Structure 1
Amino acid sequence: MAPFIANRQIYLNFDKCYKYGVVNNCVQRTEDFNLNCPAHEEADTKIVYHICKINFEANITIRCSDTDVAIIMLANMENTHKDVNISMEFGVGNHQRFINITKLYKNLGPQLSAALPGFHALTGCDFNPAFFRKGKNRTFQLLQKTQKYIDAFKKISNISEIDINKEFSTIEEYVCRIYGFTKMNEINKARVASFVKTYKILDNDDVFQLPKKSIDGSAMPPCQSELRQHFLRTCYIAHLWAHAFCKNPSPFFPENYGWEEKEEKYIFKWFEGTQLPSQVSEITLDSTEDNTEENDENQLDTSETLPSSDEEDSGQSNNDSTDSEDE
């Protein structure tokens, strides 16, 4: 190993960070207490933490094909040394490419970069499911052109400083826009309108019938109860990523943010309350009630609802989770 290491220093981090160097033709291992970060459970944030600790001019290449790492790095660029240039190497062979993270950060700007952890966690990452067939392209364009949403996603990266209910209302509105509802701001109403738009009741007799044999629930927006748990997970993840430069990135517990512990493992807490209504009257309307909502078809912009082929995430849905593969 000594000829391989030569005059270089190699750092390996698992439970502790060890530095390997050659002294008198022998490999010497020492513990680097400054780079120890046991509170970082994933390699994603450990990589960024180490880069933020470099306090001299350097050119850094991160060899990793994980979008999460790029997002975390962009969110923590303001905590790196001013003379550090960072790039990422993605893929292998003919698919290999380099992304200049430093240049990308300058193009996006600090505000949009700070909003990326919340955006990426909400629209689908290693720890949170995605919205079925909504992808990243159009959802990012919606974020990019609306300062209100940028501010909201920035704020949820600091859990201790926000009003959860206030920010949830803004994110709920954003999700309604993702599903093509330009006027509705409540996800439950958008869900009903989406159902009515797709599954119109046939009026040819008194029997309740639908024009399609089955209902694809994954194509509809989530209910508010489910979205709230999704939002809580987003807050937890965004806060963790945005504070990757800290030795202890998050003092919060997953049990309070959309997960529950079962058999010594964390699983998604999908919603609170009962799954189905206890009585039929809870989901029916009195025929004498006035319809105060605007026409559902006018509320739904179908041109925005149907994603283009390059934005479809056919392998992800509201009800499918993705396993973490970082370490």
Structure 2
Amino acid sequence: MIFIRVHREKDFLLYVESLQSLMFLFFALDHYNYCCWVSVHLRDMQSLPATLTKDFQKHWVVNKTQKRFSALPIDQVHEQENAKVKGKGGDLNGQGEPLARFDCKIFDGAALVHGLPTSSASTFDDCARTIFQPFLHRELQGVKRLDLVWDRYLHSSIKESTRQKRGCGVRRKVAPKTRMPTKWKDFLRDSTNKEELFSFLSQIVITEECPHDKELYVTSGTSVISRGDCEPMMDCTHEEADTRIIVHLHHAVDREAEKILIRTADTDVVVLLVGQLPALLHDHPDIDVWVAFGMGRNFCHYNINTICQNLGEDKSRALPLFHAFTGCDTNSCFLDKGKISAWKVWKSHPDVTGAFLHIVENPFQPVDVSSAHIQCLERFTVLMYDVTSNLVSVNDARRELFCKKKRIVFINWYDALLQNIKRVVYQGGIWTTSRQAQPTVPSPEVWGWTMQHVHWVPVWMTIPEAAKACKELIKCVCKSEAGCLQLITDTIAVTLIPVLYVSILKNELLAVNHLHHFPCTMCEYSVFTSTMNTLESGDEGEAIR
């Protein structure tokens, strides 16, 4: 305790005495390094000239605040300051302490609803007036402009199909006197609940008076309601708050806002801001954009300017397409390949940046399979699964990896990859045109999606499934009228397909010969003679067909 006290009170002489009293403990506890270097440090401190001793008594510690008992050792203060600058991931990722004051704050309404403590509220009206509204009122005091942006919920959209996969919540009508649900997260899983809640909160917010020197913008459906000293915003047809935030950011910058904070918990928003900021900086070089990101212990601040500076202009603009290609809310990721492994491949194969930028500069352009950009994306996919490969075709890479590893390799067939690229181009077009309040977005039907039971589902491939295609190569010789193909589909998929696949890839006709007489408990299978003749002639492509 005395050792801590000497630092807090800046008593240098007592520091030397207390350190000398602690020396025997380092030897007793066998702390070798402390024994060596604390002895040297203690000798140096005891040998200081009288003039330096006086200086040490004033400057050997640092005051964190103006309070008397707030002094800390210089090395400890240095470590604390480094932690502030670097954050969890290092200073290169833009994480750090935010500015003391902002001109504008843009809030993702859904992030606020998820993050605010609602357990003390008894009804929805109580929650809105005692928790939500006071929070916005406090935030508005420190800025000139505040934007509250909500999601829209369209029943026949790709995003709605994605929400269905997250599960259904408990339906409860939102009304002023309705009691708050005990399971808040389950309540927020229902799209209708959120739609009613967001509309209810917006009405509460806009009914309050706004100071004349402040600007308040609240979205309601496609319209934007403004209060205070505001310039009206045009209607916006965006579905998600992710892209709608970009519209509000552009409007705030055009209104001479320079220091802007965006509160969200969605990674897509951070990625979109990085992709949009280079274009904003060309017209407004003085803007400084920060993001308050995450919830609870994972909450932190990111400076988008720093991230863009470290990535460079081209890579920053291409980042949204990289995010869509490697997996986002509306597009699946590659099996066993996450963002980190894909990022390492991007660093070693920077040519793919040009392909991403081509999609950015040409939104919703039909996919040309002969394009060099599509071939570059195909090559990028091959490298994600084998960085040593010299192949460009994913089909060739799949065949090569199968022969090396003696097992099925889960790299996409070219047909499946092409459907994935179509979905990437579609999502990239939505993100690229996010600065427009009313963009023209085509139907997803020709972009790797199909409508099934009022929901959009991905088109995984256009070629027949292997299990169904192999049925054309076999025949049932049992006496049953319906046959037994339906009953042993699993047997076909597990036993017949791998053997046939090995035969075609490795040209081992001996393995194929075992299929001439394929026994089963219910019937016998015989491979068509024409198929066998085709395989023996070496025409593998015709045999596959």
TM-score range, shorter chain: 0.7 to 0.9
1:37 deviates by 1.3
- Rate the CA distance shift 1:93–1:161 in 2: closer, same or farther, 3 A: closer
Partner of 1:15: 222
Question: 257-266 vs 186-195, which deviates more?
Answer: 186-195
| Residue identity in the other structure for 1:248 | Q
- Rate the CA distance shift 1:73–1:134 in 2: closer, same or farther, 3 A: same
1 CA distance for matches of 2:327 and 2:287? 30
Partner of 2:232: 32
Q: Indicate which of 338, 362, 366 corresponds to 1:135.
A: 338
| Residue identity in the other structure for 1:18 | I
1 CA distance for matches of 2:275 and 2:399? 36
2 CA distance for matches of 1:77 and 1:110? 9
1:50 deviates by 1.2
2 CA distance for matches of 1:103 and 1:289? 62
Partner of 1:267: 457
1 CA distance for matches of 2:324 and 2:289? 23
- Rate the CA distance shift 1:160–1:265 in 2: closer, same or farther, 3 A: closer
Structure in which a larger fraction of residues adopt helix: 2
Partner of 1:257: 447
Partner of 1:88: 291
Could you tell me whether the CA contact under 8 Å between 1:111 and 1:150 is conserved in 2? Answer: yes
1:3 deviates by 7.2
Q: Normalising to structure 1: TM-score of the pair? A: 0.72
| Residue identity in the other structure for 2:339 | K
Partner of 2:211: 6
- Rate the CA distance shift 1:248–1:289 in 2: closer, same or farther, 3 A: farther
SS of the equivalent of 1:178 reads helix
Q: Which structure 2 residues correspond to residues 200-239 of structure 1 after superposition, within 5 A?
A: 220-239=410-429
SS of the equivalent of 1:113 reads helix
Partner of 2:92: none
2:57 is the counterpart of 1:57: no
Partner of 1:198: 405
1:21 deviates by 3.1
SS of the equivalent of 1:147 reads coil
Partner of 1:164: 368
- Rate the CA distance shift 1:225–1:68 in 2: closer, same or farther, 3 A: same
1:163 deviates by 5.9
SS of the equivalent of 2:351 reads helix
2 CA distance for matches of 1:171 and 1:57? 39
1 CA distance for matches of 2:223 and 2:287? 24
Could you tell me whether the CA contact under 8 Å between 1:18 and 1:31 is conserved in 2? Answer: no
| Residue identity in the other structure for 1:78 | P
SS of the equivalent of 2:260 reads strand
1 CA distance for matches of 2:209 and 2:345? 50
Partner of 1:240: 430
Partner of 2:393: 186
Could you tell me whether the CA contact under 8 Å between 1:229 and 1:257 is conserved in 2? Answer: yes
Q: Which structure 2 residues correspond to residues 100-115 of structure 1 after superposition, within 5 A?
A: 100-115=303-318
Q: How large is the Cα RMSD of the aligned pairs?
A: 2.7
Partner of 2:239: 41
2 CA distance for matches of 1:32 and 1:289? 74
- Rate the CA distance shift 1:161–1:130 in 2: closer, same or farther, 3 A: closer
1:194 deviates by 3.0
SS of the equivalent of 2:335 reads coil
- Rate the CA distance shift 1:126–1:256 in 2: closer, same or farther, 3 A: same
Could you tell me whether the CA contact under 8 Å between 1:52 and 1:79 is conserved in 2? Answer: no
What are the superposed Cα offsets for residues 28-69 of structure 1, whole Å, 9 maximum, x if unpaired? Answer: xx99343x211x111110001110222113211111121111
Larger radius of gyration: 2
Could you tell me whether the CA contact under 8 Å between 2:364 and 2:425 is conserved in 1? Answer: no
1 CA distance for matches of 2:463 and 2:386? 28
Q: Which ranges of structure 1 fall in alignment gaps of 5 or more residues? A: 23-29, 201-216, 291-327
Could you tell me whether the CA contact under 8 Å between 1:195 and 1:220 is conserved in 2? Answer: no
- Rate the CA distance shift 1:259–1:3 in 2: closer, same or farther, 3 A: closer
| Residue identity in the other structure for 2:433 | H
2 CA distance for matches of 1:103 and 1:260? 40
Could you tell me whether the CA contact under 8 Å between 1:85 and 1:102 is conserved in 2? Answer: yes
Q: Indicate which of 277, 280, 284 corresponds to 1:77.
A: 277
Q: Which structure 2 residues correspond to residues 117-136 of structure 1 after superposition, within 5 A?
A: 117-136=320-339
Question: 62-71 vs 152-161, which deviates more?
Answer: 152-161
- Rate the CA distance shift 1:161–1:228 in 2: closer, same or farther, 3 A: closer
Q: Normalising to structure 2: TM-score of the pair? A: 0.45
Question: 270-279 vs 47-56, which deviates more?
Answer: 270-279
SS of the equivalent of 1:132 reads coil
| Residue identity in the other structure for 1:90 | F
Q: Tell me which of the two structures has the higher relative contact order, counting C-alpha pairs closer than 8 angstroms and 6 or more residues apart.
A: 1
Could you tell me whether the CA contact under 8 Å between 2:261 and 2:290 is conserved in 1? Answer: yes
2 CA distance for matches of 1:160 and 1:125? 18
- Rate the CA distance shift 1:4–1:159 in 2: closer, same or farther, 3 A: closer
2 CA distance for matches of 1:234 and 1:145? 22
What are the superposed Cα offsets for residues 138-161 of structure 1, whole Å, 9 maximum, x if unpaired? Answer: 311322343321101111222456
2 CA distance for matches of 1:252 and 1:263? 20
SS of the equivalent of 1:115 reads helix
SS of the equivalent of 2:437 reads coil
